[in-house]
C-alpha cells in the first residue's frame, strides 16, 4: 500500500513543470550519438536544452516527444524563440538570464504570434500561485519546477547549517573546489537529520528518482553516502568555469559574465546554426513507444531515452525496445541514463531482443565519467548489431 501511494505521488509530481533545464550533458550525448547529416533522431524532450543543442551537430531531423504538457510548451517556446527573437542577445537574455521584465515584452511582440493556441494558453495561463507562467522568464525560471524547488530546498537546508553553496563558484581551480566541498558541503551528509531525510524515497522525487529505483540506487549504503559521492563529482571533478550544471546547482541559474558556461544551444557561436535548423525539430505530445509504433520500419537511427526506463516495468521495456529495434536503421544508436550505475537491460529485456544490440562498454564508461551533471550513476550506449 505504501509503495503504491509513493508511486502515485511521484506520478502526480511529474505532471507540472519538472525541468526548466535538462540535466543530461549534451556534449556527452553528441559524442556518444555520433550524429551525422543524415541522422534522424528521436528523443524524450524534457526541458528541450539537449534537443536544441543537437542542432549544432547538423542532423537531418529531430522528433522530441513527451507526455508532460509543460515540457511540450517549453520546447515549443524555445524553438519559436530561436526562430523569431531578433538576435542572440534577446535569446540569451530570455533563457540564460531569464529574470528580466524585458523578456515579457519580447514574448508579447516576437513569440506569442507564432505559438499555437495550446502553447500560448499554457504560457499565458496561471500556475498554482496565481502567476502567469510566462512571468517565470522575468523572475528566474530556473528556480521553478520540481527540480528548481528541490535545489531551493537544498540551499535552504544548507543555510540552516550556515553554508553558502554558491561559494564554490568563486573557486579558481579544481583544488580550491575540492577544498570548499570538503570543508563546507561534505560534513552536511553526516548530520543526523540529513541522513534521515535522504533515506525517505519521497525526498528524491525532485531529482527524478522514482520509488522503484530508490533501493537500486542506494544499494547497501545509506542514501546520504551515494548523494555525497554524486555531489563530490559535480563540485570537484570539472572546473566550474566550464560546467553550467554546477552553476545551476550552486547558483540557481546560469552565470552572468560573458565567459560563464552555457549549454551549446545558448552559446553565441552556435546561434546562427540553431536559428537556421530549428525548423528541423518536430515536437509531439505523445508516449514514446506508441509514437514509435506508428513509424515506418527502419526509419530512425538515433534514440535518446534519458532516464525514462528507470520508471518502466519489464513489459513496458520490452514493448519499447521492440519498437526501437523495428524502426532502427543500420548504425542505429540508443543512449540512456540510469540512476544506479549498471545498465538495467540485462535480465529484464528479452534475450532475443537484446541480442540485436551491442553494449559499448568503453564509450559508456567514458561518457559516465565525463557527464558534468553528475546526477546519474550510468550513461549507456547500445548500437545495432544486426
Percentage of the chain lying above the pLDDT 90 cut: 78
Question: Which of 282, 283, 383 lies closest to 328, judged by CA?
Answer: 383
- State the average pLDDT over residues 348-376: 96
Q: Give CA 199 to chain center in angstroms.
A: 24
- State the average pLDDT over residues 286-305: 98
Compare 218 and 281 and report the one with higher pLDDT: 281
Predicted confidence (pLDDT) at residue 1 exceeds the cutoff of 60:
no
Question: What are the phi and psi torsion angles at 331 (to 5°)?
Answer: 70, 20
pLDDT category, 218, cuts 50, 70, 90? low
pLDDT category, 339, cuts 50, 70, 90? confident
Question: What are the phi and psi torsion angles at 357 (to 5°)?
Answer: -125, 145
Predicted confidence (pLDDT) at residue 138 exceeds the cutoff of 90:
yes
Mean pLDDT of the chain: 92
Give me the sheet containing 300-304, strands edge to edge. 281-285, 61-66, 40-44, 300-304, 328-338, 378-384, 357-359
Burial class (CB in 10 A: 0-12, 13-18, 19+), 4: exposed
Using CA atoms, how far apart are residues 292 and 286, in angstroms rounded to an integer? 10
The x, y and z cell numbers of residue 175, run together, are: 583544488
Range in 34-38, 112-116, 218-222, 348-352 with the lowest mean pLDDT: 218-222
The residues facing 232 across adjacent strands are: none
Please tell me what DSSP assigns to residue 132.
B
Using CA atoms, how far apart are residues 81 and 95, in angstroms rounded to an integer? 9
Question: What are the phi and psi torsion angles at 45 (to 5°)?
Answer: -70, -50
Predicted confidence (pLDDT) at residue 210 exceeds the cutoff of 90:
no
Burial class (CB in 10 A: 0-12, 13-18, 19+), 330: exposed
Please tell me what DSSP assigns to residue 126.
B
Using CA atoms, how far apart are residues 49 and 60, in angstroms rounded to an integer? 18
pLDDT in tens, 187-205: 999 999 999 988 888 777 7
pLDDT category, 147, cuts 50, 70, 90? confident
Determine what percent of the chain falls in helix, strand and coil, rounding each to the nearest 5.
Answer: 60, 10, 30
Percentage of the chain lying above the pLDDT 70 cut: 94
pLDDT in tens, 155-193: 998 999 999 999 999 999 999 999 999 999 999 999 999
Query: In the structure, how many helices (H) and strands (E) does the chain have?
Result: 18, 7
User: 3-state DSSP call for residue 346?
Assistant: coil
State pTM to two decimals.
0.94
Predicted confidence (pLDDT) at residue 70 exceeds the cutoff of 90:
yes
Helix ranges, the chain (H): 2-13, 26-33, 49-54, 69-84, 88-92, 102-106, 117-124, 145-160, 174-180, 192-198, 211-218, 223-236, 244-251, 271-277, 288-293, 314-327, 351-354, 361-370
Range in 109-118, 212-221, 323-332 with the lowest mean pLDDT: 212-221
Predicted confidence (pLDDT) at residue 123 exceeds the cutoff of 90:
yes
Q: At CA 82, angle to CA 76 and CA 86, rounded to 5?
A: 130
Predicted confidence (pLDDT) at residue 6 exceeds the cutoff of 90:
no
Predicted confidence (pLDDT) at residue 3 exceeds the cutoff of 60:
no
Q: What count of Cα atoms within 13 Å lies in the side-chain half-sphere of residue 252? A: 19
Predicted confidence (pLDDT) at residue 150 exceeds the cutoff of 70:
yes
CA distances from 223 to 196, 216, 227, 376 (A): 9, 10, 6, 14
pLDDT category, 64, cuts 50, 70, 90? very high
Element (H, E) at 307: none
Q: Integer distance in angstroms from the first to the last C-alpha of the chain?
A: 44
Residues 6+ positions from 346 with CB-CB distance below 8 Å: 354
Predicted confidence (pLDDT) at residue 7 exceeds the cutoff of 70:
no
The per-residue pLDDT for 127 is: 86
Element (H, E) at 376: none
Question: What are the phi and psi torsion angles at 165 (to 5°)?
Answer: -65, -25
Quickly count: other Cβ atoms within 10 Å of residue 355's Cβ: 12
Amino acid at each position: 500500500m505504501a509503495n503504491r501511494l509513493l508511486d502515485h505521488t511521484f506520478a502526480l509530481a511529474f505532471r507540472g513543470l519538472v525541468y526548466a533545464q535538462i540535466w543530461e550533458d549534451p556534449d556527452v550525448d553528441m559524442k556518444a550519438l555520433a550524429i551525422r547529416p543524415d541522422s534522424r533522431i528521436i528523443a524524450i524532450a524534457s526541458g528541450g536544452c539537449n534537443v536544441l543543442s543537437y542542432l549544432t551537430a547538423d542532423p537531418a531531423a529531430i522528433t522530441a516527444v513527451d507526455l508532460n504538457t509543460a515540457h511540450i510548451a517549453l520546447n515549443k517556446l524555445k524553438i519559436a524563440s530561436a526562430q523569431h527573437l531578433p538576435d542572440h542577445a534577446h535569446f540569451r537574455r530570455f533563457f540564460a538570464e531569464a529574470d528580466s521584465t524585458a523578456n515579457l515584452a519580447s514574448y508579447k511582440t516576437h513569440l506569442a504570434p507564432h505559438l499555437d493556441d495550446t502553447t500560448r494558453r499554457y504560457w499565458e495561463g496561471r500556475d498554482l500561485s496565481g502567476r502567469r507562467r510566462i512571468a517565470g522568464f522575468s523572475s528566474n525560471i530556473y528556480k521553478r519546477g520540481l527540480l528548481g524547488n528541490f535545489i531551493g530546498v537544498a540551499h535552504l537546508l544548507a543555510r540552516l547549517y550556515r553554508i553558502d553553496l554558491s561559494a564554490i563558484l568563486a573557486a579558481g581551480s579544481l583544488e580550491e573546489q575540492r577544498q570548499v566541498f570538503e570543508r563546507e558541503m561534505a560534513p552536511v551528509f553526516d548530520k543526523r537529520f540529513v541522513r534521515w531525510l535522504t533515506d525517505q524515497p519521497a525526498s528524491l522525487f525532485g531529482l527524478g528518482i522514482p520509488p522503484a529505483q530508490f533501493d537500486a540506487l542506494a544499494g547497501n549504503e545509506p542514501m546520504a553516502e551515494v548523494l555525497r559521492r554524486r555531489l563530490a563529482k559535480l563540485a570537484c571533478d570539472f572546473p566550474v568555469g566550464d560546467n553550467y550544471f554546477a552553476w545551476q546547482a550552486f547558483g540557481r541559474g546560469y552565470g552572468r559574465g560573458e565567459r560563464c558556461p552555457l549549454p551549446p544551444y545558448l552559446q553565441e557561436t552556435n546561434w546562427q546554426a540553431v536559428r537556421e535548423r530549428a525548423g528541423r525539430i518536430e515536437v509531439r505530445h505523445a508516449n514514446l513507444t506508441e509514437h514509435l509504433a506508428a513509424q515506418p520500419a527502419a526509419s530512425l537511427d538515433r534514440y535518446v531515452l534519458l532516464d525514462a526506463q528507470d520508471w518502466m516495468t519489464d513489459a513496458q521495456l520490452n514493448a519499447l525496445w521492440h519498437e526501437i529495434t523495428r524502426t532502427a536503421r543500420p548504425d542505429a544508436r540508443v543512449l540512456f541514463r540510469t540512476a544506479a550505475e549498471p545498465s538495467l537491460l540485462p535480465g529484464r529485456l528479452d534475450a532475443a531482443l537484446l541480442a540485436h544490440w551491442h553494449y559499448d562498454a568503453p564509450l559508456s564508461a567514458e561518457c559516465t565519467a565525463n557527464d558534468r551533471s553528475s546526477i546519474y550513476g550510468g550513461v549507456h550506449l547500445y548500437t545495432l548489431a544486426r
